[in-house]
């Protein structure tokens, strides 16, 4: 069952994460808030404990958002919460399995209780799944990937949408993958889930446009971090190759000849949840270092 972290208190004058912003002696609080793209916005970031999700949570907070960080590993979430609070913004966390509808509903209720409203949903939680040919993938492995990577975003969107419709504004960004646009041998459940996420994103964009809610997807390519190293190790094992050779194949497959920096994915998400993107919906943005061009 999802549980809400007790409200973080940084001191009497730091309530709501304002002190570090207001201590700027050359700028009045209202003037500074106007410069923050996401001032007064509330964001939910699933899978926010590490990697891309963590980078997104911190980036949104740096731009004024108050953030509910969700995931399944408390230790990782605690770390992200501390980093968000260090930006001067406000954070809370819930232990949430996005494939469980009851836990998702509790996550949304906890966010409303803590922050009063919701403006932004980032569907980032996901699992890598198996590395094997289709004949080597079990039904249980297939079901797990679909439950987290595709059903999870569906459940989170379903729970948040009524609130966005009521306020007639909001942003949903689904973190898909370049694997949702290409064939990806040995990763059929993962690729299928990400292709499905793009279809979900476009359908939601069409359904919600009349309510001034924008829905977009971001498709990272091979992204530096622990998740990518795990994928490389599993692929090396399946192919009987050294890990460094598999990593080289991913890097050489990009136009920029390097892995994607998670912060660059986060910067794209920031644009898509800011007022600058109010006329953009139903799109899938590649942040892939030019993978498979």
Residue 6 lies in a domain: no
Mark whether 190 is an active-site residue.
yes
| Pairing mode, strands 170-175 and 213-220 | parallel
Report the alpha-carbon distance of residue 185 to residue 235 in Å, rounded: 10
The predicted pLDDT at position 149 comes to 98
pTM value is 0.86
Report the alpha-carbon distance of residue 40 to residue 30 in Å, rounded: 11
Report the alpha-carbon distance of residue 71 to residue 36 in Å, rounded: 26
The predicted pLDDT at position 69 comes to 97
Residue 214 lies in a domain: yes
The predicted pLDDT at position 187 comes to 95
The predicted pLDDT at position 35 comes to 61
Residue 102 lies in a domain: yes
Give the chain's domain count: 1
The predicted pLDDT at position 14 comes to 35
Residue 204: CATH number of its domain: 3.40.50.720
**Per the residue annotation, which of 190, 211, 250, 291 is the catalytic one?**
190
CA end-to-end span of the chain: 44
Q: What angle do CA 68, 275, 261 make, to 5 degrees?
A: 60
Chain position carrying tokens 């476009």: 202
Of 77, 62, 55, the residue nearest 122 (C-alpha): 55
Chain position carrying tokens 């059903």: 151
Residue 101 lies in a domain: yes
Residue 253 lies in a domain: no
Residue 156 lies in a domain: yes
The predicted pLDDT at position 200 comes to 98
**Radius of gyration of the chain from its Cα atoms, rounded to whole angstroms:** 19
Contact 30, 22 (CB under 8 A): no
Report the alpha-carbon distance of residue 281 to residue 104 in Å, rounded: 24
Q: Phi, psi at residue 131, to the nearest 5°?
A: -115, 100
Q: Phi, psi at residue 177, to the nearest 5°?
A: -170, 155
What are the mean pLDDT values of the chain's consecutive 10-residue runs (293 residues total)?
A: 39 34 32 68 96 96 96 94 94 96 97 96 96 97 98 98 97 97 95 98 98 98 92 92 94 96 97 97 97 89
Residue 229 lies in a domain: no
Residues pairing with 67 in the sheet: 43, 91
The tokens describing 117, both together, are 């409203």
Q: Phi, psi at residue 192, to the nearest 5°?
A: -60, -40
| Pairing mode, strands 91-95 and 66-71 | parallel
For the residues of 145-202, what is the DSSP string, one character each? Answer: HHIIIIIHHHHHHHHHHHHHHHHT-EEEEEE--GGGTS--TTBHHHHHHHHHHHHHHH
Residue 230 lies in a domain: no
Domain span holding position 40:
12-223+263-287
């Amino acid at each position: 069952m999802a549980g809400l972290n007790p409200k973080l208190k940084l001191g009497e004058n730091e309530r709501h994460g304002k002190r570090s912003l207001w201590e700027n002696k050359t700028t009045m609080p209202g003037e500074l808030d106007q410069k923050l793209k996401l001032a007064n916005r509330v964001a939910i970031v699933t899978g926010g404990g590490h990697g891309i999700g963590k980078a997104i949570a911190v980036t949104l907070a740096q731009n004024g958002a108050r953030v509910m960080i969700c995931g399944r590993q408390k230790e990782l979430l605690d770390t992200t919460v501390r980093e968000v609070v260090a930006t001067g913004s406000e954070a809370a966390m819930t232990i949430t399995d996005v494939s469980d509808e009851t836990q998702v509903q509790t996550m949304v209720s906890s966010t409303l209780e803590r922050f009063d409203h919701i403006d932004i949903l980032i569907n980032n939680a996901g699992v890598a799944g198996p590395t094997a040919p289709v004949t080597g993938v079990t039904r249980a492995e297939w079901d797990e990937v679909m439950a987290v990577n595709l059903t999870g975003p569906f459940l989170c969107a379903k729970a948040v949408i009524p609130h966005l419709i009521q306020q007639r504004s909001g942003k949903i960004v689904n973190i898909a993958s370049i694997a949702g646009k290409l064939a990806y041998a040995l990763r059929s459940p993962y690729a299928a889930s990400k292709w499905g996420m793009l279809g979900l994103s476009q359908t939601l964009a069409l359904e919600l446009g009349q309510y001034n809610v924008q829905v977009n997807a971001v498709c990272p390519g091979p992204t530096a971090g622990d998740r990518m190293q795990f994928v490389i190790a599993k692929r090396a094992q399946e192919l009987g190759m050294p890990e460094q050779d598999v990593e080289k194949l991913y890097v050489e497959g990009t136009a920029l000849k390097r892995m994607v920096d998670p912060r660059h994915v986060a910067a794209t998400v920031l644009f898509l949840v800011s007022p600058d993107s109010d006329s953009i919906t139903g799109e899938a943005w590649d942040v892939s270092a030019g993978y498979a061009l």
